[in-house]
Amino acid sequence: MLLFPDLKEKVEKKISSVLAGINSKDFDWDQTGHSDFSLRCFRLAKPDGYGKICDAVRNVLSSDAFIDRIECQGPYINIKVRGEAALEIMRDEIERAGIFPDTFQDPERILVEHTSTNPTGPLHIGRARNSILGDSLAKLMARMGYRVSTQYFVNDSGRQVMGMVEGFRRYGNGDRTLKTILSCYQKIYSLIDKDPEIRESVENLSKKYEEGDENTIREVKETCSVVLDSIRSSLLRLGIKIDDYVWESGFLRGGETESVLEMLSEYIQNEDGAVFITGDDGKKIYLKRKDGTTIYFLRDLAYHLFKALNADWIIDVMGEDHKGHARALSHVLINMLEYRPRLDFVFNSFVSLETGKMSTRGGNIVTLDEVMDRSRQEAELIVREKRKDLESDRLGAIAEAVGISSVRFNILRIGAEKAMVFRWKDALNVEGNSAPFIMYSYARASGILKHEPDAMEGELRLDEKEERDLVMKMYRYPYVLRAAMDSLKPEYVCNYLLELVNSFSAFYSSVNVIKSEEKNRNTRFLILHIYKKILEDACGIAGIRLLEEM
């Protein structure tokens, strides 16, 4: 939870003391540029009563030192606060806590599960959308004061993985590399429908694996590990480190899947030896096949019970194709297994290519690595062009930061529920609404601040519209964080960043900080100082790497 002097709340409370029944529909931030807050009187009074309300609001607020102006325009009461007051709050908070806004350590432990893709091939850009969303969400919640950990549920016991391992056995010639494994996987899936013998051998492998055959287990793990290592290192390059990798097969061998079946015994039904329960929509939810092997749903139940051991709030980030699964899962957990933790699902829609759907088995994918490589190359061309003075080490570091940040931002920025088509032109965009646009602004602020590293004390005065606008935009940061948390939408932080940077650009082009008159200088350096702090904070959540120069 956030701790900071909340001006909006203060104003709202004062107004409520003279006007009953105010809510967020009547009073809110003003987005139209008239003021900071506006009170809408449509529902509070008839047209001839607007003046009375205005007088009442004026009376109760005008004595407050942080209020600048109250103006009544028909049904709107516009309330402007003193920018200096907001700036002072931010300065004091940063001096006291080193951060704005400060947080109170919430006791809740949050567990965010994301990525969790089958280890059957490299991470493609569609799957990476899930990772980016999940990672930024985890970072957002951690920023809000929660104790957050992240997990990847490794599916090492499903049909796809068994197919991959069988494929590698047949066509891999012992060359246990990502490339070979992937091509074997694609090959076996091109043949499996035509050849019952292959299908049978995959089923046998699966059975042996679930029975706990040591050699089979080792073999599966070895092959999965190769793929998983590639996924792990791709993620790491994107700035994503997942705390724990939890292997599905662990719940098979540890007996947890069997325990779940016992817990569900009163609901369980049989059909030719296959085990199922009935969902709230009346559909059958299968837990075991007639050959006795487990189904993903059962293993996922076991996993979710395991998660509950160490977390108060479970957040699963999933592809939209898992919506049905999530619904059934939450029904069974809550209504049949008395699940305790808060449980939320966040879904991301698919990323398709201009040539159609992405498919690992079909070989129609753009991998995350490819995108990162090309994005970095593109960035390097630009840096080389702009910074002929730089040595290649430094240049490479900037290119990497720009390239990687761009990839993340271009994906995170789009609302997760929106399907997107991957286009190189958009993915490699480094101007306008992009990560480099934000990074550049930070580098500019840093450049100026080198002239005056600390400017925390002194009288505050805001004379220009652009500097006041920037200050108020900075002051909105905590409210954005809160909204992003409440709706589990880290993309709000991205949109805010773009707005904030726009305000900075206006400030930058209208005010020369270094050449400012003495009376303004100190305040302007302070603004830059706080601006950098907030950018660092928000970019930490969004996964943008900031540089002092670029």
Q: Which of residues 272-301 bind RNA (CB under 7 A)?
A: 272-274, 283-284, 286, 289-291, 295-297
Q: Which of residues 366-395 bind RNA (CB under 7 A)?
A: 379, 382-383, 386-387
Radius of gyration of the chain measured on its C-alpha atoms: 28
320 binds RNA (CB under 7 A): yes
Which residue's CB is nearer to RNA, number 93 or number 501? 501
491 binds RNA (CB under 7 A): yes
508 binds RNA (CB under 7 A): yes
How far is 412 from 541, CA to CA, in rounded Å? 11
Pinpoint the alpha helices (H) of 144-194: 159-171, 178-191
The CB-of-414 to RNA minimum distance in angstroms stands at 5
352 binds RNA (CB under 7 A): yes
183, amino acid identity: S
Decide: 172 and 163 in contact? Cβ < 8 Å: no
Of the ranges 10-18, 121-129, 334-342, 488-496, which one interacts with RNA (CB under 7 A)? 488-496
The residue written with tokens 């580098």 in the block is: 443
Angle between helices 214-237 and 178-191 (to 10 degrees): 120
Size of the site for RNA (CB under 7 A): 93
The CB-of-157 to RNA minimum distance in angstroms stands at 7
CA quadruple 495, 501, 507, 513: dihedral sign: positive
Three-state DSSP at 78 gives strand
Decide: 152 and 245 in contact? Cβ < 8 Å: yes
Q: Exposed/middle/buried for 181, CB within 10 Å: 0-12, 13-18, 19+? A: buried
The CB-of-383 to RNA minimum distance in angstroms stands at 4
Of the ranges 7-15, 51-59, 257-265, 425-433, which one interacts with RNA (CB under 7 A)? 425-433
Which residue's CB is nearer to RNA, number 93 or number 492? 492
350 binds RNA (CB under 7 A): yes
The residue written with tokens 């089923």 in the block is: 203
522 binds RNA (CB under 7 A): no
424 binds RNA (CB under 7 A): no
Q: Which of residues 81-120 bind RNA (CB under 7 A)?
A: 118
196 binds RNA (CB under 7 A): no
359 binds RNA (CB under 7 A): no
Pick the binder of RNA from 121, 172, 341, 436 (CB under 7 A): 436
Pick the binder of RNA from 353, 498, 532, 537 (CB under 7 A): 498
The CB-of-314 to RNA minimum distance in angstroms stands at 18
Of the ranges 52-60, 96-104, 218-226, 417-425, which one interacts with RNA (CB under 7 A)? 417-425
How far is 278 from 276, CA to CA, in rounded Å? 7
455 binds RNA (CB under 7 A): no
Which residue's CB is nearer to RNA, number 373 or number 426? 426
The CB-of-311 to RNA minimum distance in angstroms stands at 21
Instruction: Give 193-239 as a DSSP string.
Output: TT-HHHHHHHHHHHHHHHHT-HHHHHHHHHHHHHHHHHHHHHHHHTT
Q: Exposed/middle/buried for 331, CB within 10 Å: 0-12, 13-18, 19+? A: middle
43 binds RNA (CB under 7 A): yes
How far is 22 from 53, CA to CA, in rounded Å? 12
